[in-house]
Amino acid sequence: MTKDKLTPPPLKNDCFALPPGVHWTPVDEAQALLRDRLGVAVGQETVLVADAMGRVLAAPVLAQRSNPPTPNSAVDGYALNGAAFGEGVHYVPLQQGRSAAGSAFQGKVPQGHALRILTGASMPAGTDTVVLQEDVTLGDGEIAFQGPLKPGANARKAGEDFNAGDEILPAGHRVRAQDMALLAASGARDIEAYRTLRVAVLSTGDELIEAGDSAAPDQIYDANRPMLLSMARRLGYEVVDIGRIADDRDTLRAALNNAAASADVILSSGGASAGDEDHMSALLQDAGVMALWRMAIKPGRPLALGLWEGTPVFGLPGNPVAACVCALIFALPAMSILAGEGWQVPKGVMLPALFTKRKKAGRREYLRARRVDEGVEVFASEGSGRISGLSWADGLVELPDEAMEITPGTPVRYFSYRDFGL
Ligand SMILES: Nc1nc2c(c(=O)[nH]1)N[C@H]1C(S)=C(S)[C@@H](COP(=O)(O)OP(=O)(O)OC[C@H]3O[C@@H](n4cnc5c(N)ncnc54)[C@H](O)[C@@H]3O)O[C@H]1N2
Ligand code: MOO
């Protein structure tokens, strides 16, 4: 072929333009596929309640006992039979003794008598009501107060919170600090939990060096691996650090074998597109287990999804912002399924935009964003190598697949990093 016979394509400097003839998978379609195809990837184990924080329940938790286990007093005061004290002033003799939390009164309170009672103490036999000590004048061996009393006032019924045998937490629930109170109160000694998901993380690229090492001019620090390892740790997963892998197919194959043998899911970054050194997508394609690799998302359109030796692989794009966004939008909810928690995606909130942008149709866009009192502002650049914007931001703005004209005040969807559990 001679030079003058070559026909160059029309110049297309927009690297985000969607080439025709390629199916660009919408975010919703890719998420639906992950949601349908993935299942729990971990076994189960028995875990002491003391160690339950952050664990995902593999079975519902049933209460071993009721809360409260007996009727008890909600206040410090005097226990009596409420129905016996109608309108008017009452002078009521005190029964000897008292009922305190953990030290219940053993006898029966005679009709027309009252017993000193403290908050949390079991209601003694013969009583159903507590008159608040602030409403009482204490005399010598008797109390005086103004009727009428409402029978049952200031007393908690046995099981009013939950009863023995009630399901207090469902399977698939991830135990939070607040749930630790419920688990302990229910009398549980241990829970059935899913084993903690193991997440292997690797970075590909000959240019990468380790944080803190001395760098040649064309080397760059591996920024994605520390980010992805930290996301996994923060979400309570066990991490397996596979390290930095050179742009060499055999080396990457060996690293994937190692990762698949030691983890339940693999997060890699770089080499996801179709360049000469994009071995991740090539290997997954050769193995015939490549599901999707072009997403209608910005940043991050090259995303290699596949199975390696049966282990799901997320081949995230190399650019750190794209790696972060694709991890949040695809890998995190997928990992929550693998971990037993079911599909978890944040709903976000609609906030007024404090920026101007004209968005084209065909791709969902995520902008680094920061919530302020008046609404949400976005990072000055959309460049997916601008790592500083990830730290500038406290979350993401999501713009829909359709075209959109945003001016100050237009409602836009905002997710905080915390909404993703980060
Ligand atoms: N001709 C085209 N070239 C590129 C296109 C395109 O459509 N046509 N898309 C660009 C986009 S968008 C992205 S994103 C990248 C994705 O490619 P890869 O996933 O294969 O990523 P790499 O090429 O390996 O790296 C991209 C970029 O990110 C840097 N990088 C990689 N890993 C790390 C890391 N662990 N820490 C920090 N930085 C990392 C890498 O040095 C590159 O600068 O392809 C574009 N090219
Ligand atoms: O689409 Mo690339 O993943 O933005 O940087």
**94-150 pLDDT tens trace:** 999 999 999 999 999 999 999 999 999 999 999 999 999 999 999 999 999 999 999
Ligand 2 lining (C-beta closer than 6 Å):
298-301, 317, 319, 322, 384
Cα–ligand 2 centroid distance for 244 (angstroms): 20
Whether ipTM exceeds 0.85: yes
User: From the CA of 326, which ligand is nearest?
Assistant: 2
Identify the residue whose C-alpha is closest to ligand 1 atom 31.
318
**pLDDT tens figures, 22-80:** 778 899 999 998 999 899 999 999 999 999 999 999 999 999 999 999 999 999 999 99
Number of the ligand 1 atom closest to the C-alpha atom of 244: 35
**pLDDT tens figures, 321-357:** 999 999 999 999 999 999 999 999 999 999 999 999 9
Domain 44-65+168-194 fold is Molybdopterin biosynthesis moea protein, domain 2 (3.90.105)
Length of the chain: 422
Cα–ligand 2 centroid distance for 384 (angstroms): 6
> To the nearest whole number, what is the mean pLDDT of the chain?
93
Q: Is the CB of 315 under 6 A from ligand 1?
A: no
**Averaged pLDDT, 402-409:** 98
**Ligand 1 pocket, mutate which of 210, 319, 363 (most atoms under 8 A from CB):** 319
- The angle, 0 to 180 degrees and rounded to 10, between the axes of the packed helices 249-262 and 279-286 is 70
Number of the ligand 1 atom closest to the C-alpha atom of 225: 35
Q: Would you say domain 18-41+196-338 falls under CATH 3.30.430.20?
A: no
**Ramachandran region, residue 398 (left: φ > 0; alpha: ψ -120 to 50; beta: rest):** beta
Q: Would you say domain 349-420 falls under CATH 2.40.340.10?
A: yes
Q: pLDDT band for 275, please (50, 70, 90 cuts).
A: confident
Residue 14 has pLDDT above 90, yes or no: no
* CA–CA distance, 355 with 94 (Å, rounded to integer): 72
**pLDDT tens figures, 161-215:** 999 999 999 999 999 999 999 999 999 999 999 999 999 999 999 999 999 999 9
Q: What is the pTM of this model?
A: 0.90
Beta bridge partners of residue 239, listed in sequence order? 199
Give the per-residue pLDDT at 345: 95
Identify the residue whose C-alpha is closest to ligand 1 atom 7.
15
What CATH code would you report for 72-156? Answer: 2.170.190.11
Q: How many CA atoms lie within 13 A of 226 on its CB side?
A: 9
* CA–CA distance, 171 with 186 (Å, rounded to integer): 16
Q: Is the CB of 270 under 6 A from ligand 1?
A: yes
Q: What residues contact 50, with CB distance under 8 A and at least 6 apart?
A: none
Residue with token string 């002078």: 91
Where along the chain do its domains lie? 18-41+196-338, 44-65+168-194, 72-156, 349-420
Number of the ligand 1 atom closest to the C-alpha atom of 323: 14
User: From the CA of 319, which ligand is nearest?
Assistant: 1
